[in-house]
Amino acid sequence: MRNLAKLSVPILSLSFVAGLVFWAYPEGGALARQIGIVLGWTGCGMLLVSLFLVLREARLAAVLGGLETMYRWHHRLGMAAYVALLAHPLLLAGASLPKAPREAWELLSPFSESWPVWTGWLSLLVLMAGLGATVSGRLAYRIRRPIHAALGLAVPVGLIHLILLGIDEPVLPILLVSLVLLACRLVREDWGLGALPYVVRSVARVSANVVEVSLAPLGESIAAQPGQFALVAFQSGRRFKGCNEFHPFTVSSTDGVSGFRIAVKALGDCTRNIQSIEPGVPARVQGAFGDFLDDPASTPQFWIAGGMGITPFLALLRAGRLDRPTILIYLFPSEGDALFVNDLRAIAASLPKLTLRLVATGDNPVEPGSVFPAGDDVARGEFWLCGPPPMIEAFTRFLRRRGIANRRMHFENFGPL
């Protein structure tokens, strides 16, 4: 079921793009022109699906295999659309070049004083800027994000390019749909009108740079399960000035209808600011998203957590749901960096099926083999990993070498969404 949901986005993308190309397939003309037109519609279709995939609705995400899958395909389709749309005018001009070089030049030239050409190029330039910002490692996330968001404008501008070329029959309704999608994302999600109101009930300091925040709903609540994450935007309180941006945080404890908890590590401006949050601060919450720790097989379970990656496992343990033998391996640089250790020890003492292994790694990367003593049934195990990307990569390589199939390894990635 989980794998079927993950296939739904590629199936949706392929069907939509194929339908559009089938409808617009050009009869006759030079081959380069035909390919150019097909690439134009392919790029247009991929951009529309990519736009649809930015909707952060919990129910939609559950059907489409999760927010991470949606965002992965959103990026892939955006990149592929850019390549197709860049090739589109080049092939059209190339088709005219042998017989009518002037016409070929006018098709490409931004100096030809024609709105159809200008809007086409404008759409490509917006795409280029947005994608450039996305892949640029140098720009701060805060700057990268609005430039990337401007990518959404490339779709209506590209569609206006088609309308100006006189192709308005399927394009006008498509333009309308793209504007509705953009408006939904902006109003419901970025401005938070689709989010639920919560309030900070209590705050507990976990370490020098981590606080645990308990959130209570002011009305309807999200149905958060251990292993899931929520998008939370903190507003301003009496003394606290919230950054009011939605950031993803894994649920560290599910308190049923009465709310949930998140642990926040100071990593950048917004999360540093959250360290001084106080009870009574209003928040808006979207979610819950994700299916990490959902439906584990009945084989021995190995949970491998690094640093903040302990939160999904902690939530499941706090919920008291452990019905199969589980080894929790928690890695941290030094004792001072370990989070929730007292809670984990107390839970382990009360749960006979849980084996807790605390590993202080020092400053060097841990050798994965060293955390599995000879008695561990690694060959039959199922592995759940949450932590920094280098740790996950090292363990994945090690487990593959030990013959563990990919379907028995599950990850939660804390990278940018």
Ligand X SMILES: Cc1cc2nc3c(=O)[nH]c(=O)nc-3n(C[C@H](O)[C@H](O)[C@H](O)COP(=O)(O)OP(=O)(O)OC[C@H]3O[C@@H](n4cnc5c(N)ncnc54)[C@H](O)[C@@H]3O)c2cc1C
**Closer residue to ligand X in complex, CB, 35/53:** 53
Cβ burial of 84 (10 Å; 0-12, 13-18, 19+) is buried
- Out of 267, 346, 349, 379, the only residue in the binding site for ligand X (CB under 6 A) is 267
- Out of 8, 271, 275, 299, the only residue in the binding site for ligand X (CB under 6 A) is 271
User: Token digits for 39?
Assistant: 């690439």
Q: How far is 204 from 215, CA to CA, in rounded Å?
A: 12
**Closer residue to ligand X in complex, CB, 122/231:** 231
Residues with Cβ < 8 Å from 364, sequence gap 6 or more? none
Least spacing, CB of residue 88 vs ligand X, in Å = 33
Residue nearest to ligand X (CB): 268
**Closer residue to ligand X in complex, CB, 139/179:** 139
**Closer residue to ligand X in complex, CB, 43/248:** 248
> What kind and span of H or E run contains 289?
strand 282-289
Three-state SS at 147: helix
CA angle at 336 for the pair 334 and 342, rounded to the nearest 5°: 110
Q: How far is 293 from 321, CA to CA, in rounded Å?
A: 11
Q: How far is 21 from 9, CA to CA, in rounded Å?
A: 18
- Strand partners for 196: 285
Q: How far is 292 from 40, CA to CA, in rounded Å?
A: 38
**Closer residue to ligand X in complex, CB, 103/269:** 269
Q: Among residue numbers 325 through 344, which ones bind ligand X (CB under 6 A)?
A: none
Give the range of 21-29, 56-64, 158-166, 266-274 binding ligand X by CB under 6 A.
266-274
**Closer residue to ligand X in complex, CB, 92/232:** 232
Residues with Cβ < 8 Å from 296, sequence gap 6 or more? 324, 382, 384
Residue 264 binds ligand X, judged by CB under 6 A: yes
- Strand partners for 247: 232
Binding footprint of ligand X, residue count (CB under 6 A): 22
The owner of tokens 């395909």 is 73
Residue 313 binds ligand X, judged by CB under 6 A: no
Is the separation of the CB atoms in 307 and 366 below 8 Å?
A: no
Q: Among residue numbers 91 through 150, which ones bind ligand X (CB under 6 A)?
A: 141-142
Residue 314 binds ligand X, judged by CB under 6 A: no
Residue 387 binds ligand X, judged by CB under 6 A: no
Residue 308 binds ligand X, judged by CB under 6 A: yes
Residue 383 binds ligand X, judged by CB under 6 A: no
- Out of 248, 300, 306, 307, the only residue in the binding site for ligand X (CB under 6 A) is 248
Least spacing, CB of residue 33 vs ligand X, in Å = 43
- Out of 41, 52, 198, 229, the only residue in the binding site for ligand X (CB under 6 A) is 229
Give the range of 27-35, 256-264, 330-338, 365-373 binding ligand X by CB under 6 A.
256-264
**Closer residue to ligand X in complex, CB, 43/290:** 290
**Closer residue to ligand X in complex, CB, 169/269:** 269
Residues with Cβ < 8 Å from 196, sequence gap 6 or more? 217, 218, 219, 220, 221, 222, 284, 285, 286
Is the separation of the CB atoms in 181 and 51 below 8 Å?
A: yes
Least spacing, CB of residue 140 vs ligand X, in Å = 6
Residue 268 binds ligand X, judged by CB under 6 A: yes
The owner of tokens 């430039």 is 147
User: Token digits for 36?
Assistant: 């150019």
- Out of 35, 270, 327, 391, the only residue in the binding site for ligand X (CB under 6 A) is 270
Which residues of this protein are in contact with ligand X, per CB under 6 A? 141-142, 229, 247-250, 262-265, 267-271, 308, 311, 414-417
